[in-house]
Structure formats: structure tokens, C-alpha cells
Structure 1
Amino acid sequence: MLNRRHIRIKVMQALYAFKGNESEDLKVSDNFLNHSLNSTYDLYLSMLSLIIEIHKKAEDHQNKTQQKFLATKAEKNPSLKFLKNEVLTMLSANEALTSELEHRKLNPWYLDFEYVDITFKAIAESDLYKDYMSTSTSTFSEDKDFVISIFEDIIAPNDKLYDYFEDKKLTWLDDIPVVNTSILKLFKKLKPSTPEKHFLPKLFKDEDDRDFGIELLKKTILNQSSFSTEIGSKTKNWDSERITQIDTVLMQMAICEFQKFPSIPVKVTINEYLEIAKEYSTPKSSNFINGILDKIVKEYKAENKFNKVGRGLL
């Protein structure tokens, strides 16, 4: 679910959030990072839980409509197509997913049910829903395409949901695109025979990715002073107050990868931090960081300081 760039962003947030002496920073930042990484999965589960609750809401809404004193013929005999949507039914009946939600004590929509109502209403009033409900039956493929469409066009871009998740946990602000992309990929790969565990993907691709974030955080903090000195020697003509804290953190992380991660190519490191700078720092930051890192790379090459393993890593 999490790629290396997003792990780097999480480490950047941990380094940016906590300042102090190295021993204090290491413990606090490590806890912050682990919590931030794990909470991404909570957001993922909360989003899937929302879809399940929307499915339940549809059934509840239909039952109440049928019981209206002056219900119309259509209201008394409504289409069951949405309720019988194979993908939504599969998701709602997923015992492994339900068990994981219970294990993590996640029930976000019990108190915040109004967001379920808002989202269901947006779906029910959409042309996507009306077109889907215009026929009485559908195939699994059609059901899947419909769920993908309402997720892409209605749920994922919903501003009220976006604000809700941001208010719940600040770090979720950066996780929402990653989580939404992961959910879409899972839906697109879904088949009638897909096992329940399909909706419980691993947070990290492998153990190397899991360890990468922790090691990057630890090694950056433990060498922060020397990295800062190195950056300072390359920015003597710059007013220190003009260099943003984010830029400093990103350059420290890049230098850490240059020195402490022999298997990561130099170009990959530079490109990753330039892209992160474009998103999280000032408009001029990526050019500034590129200039400083370029000086450091040239110096390391001239003095044979690189300790990279493998061909093409420089």
C-alpha cells in the first residue's frame, strides 16, 4: 500500500514535528512515525467501512420508504439492484474485514453517521446511480464498474469527507490519495472468486520497506548535526532564515541516503526529494535543494566518499 515516497514523507513529517536533543528526538519521533504509518491503515479500513455503511444505509432507507403510509407503487416494490450489487454484498459479508475492524476498535461511523447519510444521498441523486438502476439485472463486471465509478466520482472527491478525515487526524491529509488509489486497485482486480483477504493488503510491500522508514528516521536524527554542518558549508552565501525548515529536513534526509543507504541510487534519492519539495515546500525550494545536493554529489565523487553497492547507483 505504501510506496517509498510516501514513507519518506512520513519520515519528513516526524523530523519536522519534533526538535530537541538527539536522544529525546529519537524516541519521540520513532513513536510518531510508527503511529503515523499504522494510522494509514486505519484510514484505509475506515474508508472501506464507509462503503459498507452506505450499503446498509440503502437497505434501511428502502425499508423505511416501503413502510410510508402513502407509499407509491414504486416505493412499495423498489428495485433491489443496489442492495444485491455483488461487489457491495461481497464487501459487506467479508468476515476477515469485519474482524480486523473489530480488532482495531474502528467504528467511525457510529457517531458520525451523518457522513454516511451525506454520501448515500450524493450517490442516490447522481446520474451514475440512475443509469445503473435503470435496468433490473447486471453482471459482476457491471456491478464492479458501478462501484468503481461511484468511488472515483462521488466518494473519493467528496469535500465534506475530506474535511472530516483531516479533522480526525492531521496526518491523514497526506494519506487520503494513497488510500484511495489502493482501494481502486483492489476493486479493479476483484473477481467473484477473490478471497476475503484481498481487502486486507499489507501496509508495506516487504520487510525492506518496513525497515527503510525506521532506519532513515534513526540515521538522520543521529547524524543531524553533521548533516547540518555539511549543508551550512554549501550555503554560506545564503541567509539562514531564508532556508525553510522543510528544505533543511529534506536535504538532511537526502544526505543520509547518500551516506547510509548503499543500495539506493543517487539519482533516485535526488529525484524523490525534489518531488517532495515541489509538493510540500516553497515554489523555489526544488531548484535550491537540487543546487545544494548537486554540489554535495560532485564533492563526494571527487573525494570518493560514496559507498554505493551495485552498478549504476551513482
Structure 2
Amino acid sequence: MQTLYASQGSESDNIKTNEKFLLQSLNSMYDLFLAQLSLLLEVHKKAKDRLEKSQQKLLATQEDKNPNAKFVNNEVLKLISLNENLKGLIEDQKANLWYLDFEYVEVIYKDMLKSDLYKDYMATKVSTFNDDKNFVIDLFTEVIAPNDKLYDYFEDKRITWLDDLPVVNTVILKLLKKVKSTTNENFFTPELFRDVEDKEFGIDLLKKTILNQLHFNEEISAKTKNWDAERITHIDTVLMQMAICEFQKFPSIPVKVTINEYLEIAKEYSTPKSSTFINGILDKIIKEYSSNGQLNKVGRGLL
């Protein structure tokens, strides 16, 4: 949707250019995933540095000499920080975000220290692996993910990151909830695509939508004769084009799955009434396809 919307496209558009933008956007999502995980590690590293410096004070107090190192010794954070695969991917990034923009590490670190969550966790000096895991999950959920300054930073950093943030945060939380002390090196470096077909689907949907936009627009116009074309938002048009493309060009995708998917996207990105409008138009198109025998779906339960 983002790629088609940005292209303001027609069938004469450079498909390769749009495909390149799509893949760059998807790869950028993985960069955001690494940025969020590495932020967690930088906060952990900052706490470790602070603890070491306090122990080295010339006039160190007894508390400085024997600090509560529970957060620094958090088993989950240590497991992530020692993950060689993850460290390699972070180092391969063109720029270390938190080295250049270290002030955001400080923001999260201070917010963590002020939180009741942290104070409760540090009330004792020992914990189990599950205690450590639950704390990291809560830290990410309550301090990192909803942080407004971090939200604004990501919005300014890359054009697509704000839309990717909920997906990336959900993935990270799922990983944290499943982590075990025996977790292997690949656990925190999942593949961007589930498989080759997953990647090819996105490219195919983009190409086939672009190549058939005029035809799809004619179908939309035929069902919106009582509507002023200027009243239909560009996002709604793009979403209907993509849905019609799935109806016609992707036999294995159930009609209900297609409709539900695009209605959800419309609720998130378009006007309050867009989902109802889109649902009505797509319903008319499906009824026409069904009556004319044009609905190209293969397999049980796909109509």
C-alpha cells in the first residue's frame, strides 16, 4: 500500500523502481528490529558502566563498593548481549544509531530508574531466570515501546519506521516471551521473510496491481457511479485495487481473508468511514464475479 500510494502510479510507472522501494522498506523494518533490540542492550551496558564507575570512586561508599547488580546480571539481557549472531548484524548496520544518538539511551535509562517496575525488581538482589525474563518483558512494554521521545525519533529517522513500529515491537515481545536459558544463537536473529514464497508474494502483488491499475479503476468506477471521484481518497482506491488484484490474480487466497485484511488496513490508515465504503464496493464486485463465474479461486472454502 505504501509503495503504490507513493508512486501515484499508472501502468507506465517503472516497476523496477517500485519493487526496489518495496524491498528497501521491508529491509528497513529489519533495521528497526535491530535498533530496538540494540537499544535494550545499550541501556543494559549503560547500567553496567555506571556500576563499574561507582565502584572505582576514590571516596566510594559501602553501597558503591557493594551495589545491587541485579539488573546488570539479568540473565536474559546477558544472553542477548552475548549473542554473536545478533552482535554481527548490529555491527553490520551502516551506522550505530545509539552511538550517534546516545541521548535516547539516557532517556530510556532514566525513565527505567524512575519506574516502580524497576524499583520493585531491584528490591531484592537475587532472581530466577523467569523473574529476569518477566522484568525485561515489562521494561520493554511499559518503558521502551510507549516512549514518546523515541516515537518522535523514529518518525524523523526513516519515513516507514513509524508504521513498522507496532509490528516490530510485537515481534520482539513474542521473542522475549519465548526465550529460555538454552536458547540458541539464531533465536534473536529471525529471518525477515518466512520463506521465498512469502517474499515473492509481496513483489507479485505489487507488480500485478500496477500492471492492471487502469482495469481495476474501471471496475471501481462502475460500482461508484453515484460518487464524486474526488471524494474517494487515494488510499481507498489503492486498497481496492490491491483487493481486486487478489480476487483475480491469486487463486489460493480466500475472498474473506482478502476483504478482512484490507478493511483492517483501511481502519488504520484511512478515514473513519472508509472501511464501510470499501466493504460495500468489494461486496458488489464479488457478487458480480460469482454470478458471472469470474471468481478464480481454487480449493475448498475459498469463496
Q: Give TM-score, length-normalised by structure 1.
A: 0.93
How much does 1:205 deviate?
A: 2.2
1:16 aligns with 2:2: no
How much does 1:34 deviate?
A: 0.4
2:10 and 2:214 in contact (8 A); partners too:
no
Counting only pairs closer than 5 Å after superposition, residues 98-109 of structure 1 correspond to structure 2 as 98-109=87-98
Query: What residue in structure 2 maps to residue 272 of structure 1?
Result: 261
Q: Which of 196, 203, 210 is matched with 1:207 structurally?
A: 196
Q: Which of 234, 240, 246 is matched with 1:257 structurally?
A: 246
Counting only pairs closer than 5 Å after superposition, residues 1-314 of structure 1 correspond to structure 2 as 12-68=1-57, 70-314=59-303
How many equivalent residue pairs? Answer: 303
* Whole-Å separation in 1 of the counterparts to 2:149 and 2:234: 31
Deviations 1:161-186 (A, max 9, x none): 11111111121111111111111111
Query: What residue in structure 2 maps to residue 3 of structure 1?
Result: none
How much does 1:70 deviate?
A: 4.8
Deviations 1:85-108 (A, max 9, x none): 111111111111111112233411
1:148 and 1:187 in contact (8 A); partners too:
yes
Give SS of 1:174's match.
helix
Q: Give TM-score, length-normalised by structure 2.
A: 0.97
Farther off after superposition, 100-109 or 264-273: 100-109
Query: What residue in structure 2 maps to residue 5 of structure 1?
Result: none
1:18 and 1:25 in contact (8 A); partners too:
no
* Whole-Å separation in 1 of the counterparts to 2:164 and 2:38: 16
2:10 and 2:213 in contact (8 A); partners too:
no
Farther off after superposition, 182-191 or 18-27: 18-27
2:248 and 2:295 in contact (8 A); partners too:
yes
How much does 1:158 deviate?
A: 0.8
1:254 and 1:270 in contact (8 A); partners too:
yes
How much does 1:275 deviate?
A: 1.0
* Whole-Å separation in 2 of the counterparts to 1:275 and 1:184: 22
| Unmatched segments (≥5 aa) in structure 2 | none
* Whole-Å separation in 1 of the counterparts to 2:101 and 2:227: 49
* Whole-Å separation in 1 of the counterparts to 2:9 and 2:72: 55
1:46 and 1:106 in contact (8 A); partners too:
no
1:278 and 1:286 in contact (8 A); partners too:
yes
Farther off after superposition, 44-53 or 75-84: 75-84
2:161 counterpart letter in structure 1: W
2:278 counterpart letter in structure 1: I
1:32 counterpart letter in structure 2: F
* Whole-Å separation in 2 of the counterparts to 1:41 and 1:94: 17
How much does 1:62 deviate?
A: 1.7
* Whole-Å separation in 1 of the counterparts to 2:249 and 2:174: 34
2:11 and 2:211 in contact (8 A); partners too:
yes
2:68 and 2:122 in contact (8 A); partners too:
yes
* Whole-Å separation in 2 of the counterparts to 1:190 and 1:214: 32
2:247 and 2:295 in contact (8 A); partners too:
yes
How much does 1:209 deviate?
A: 1.7
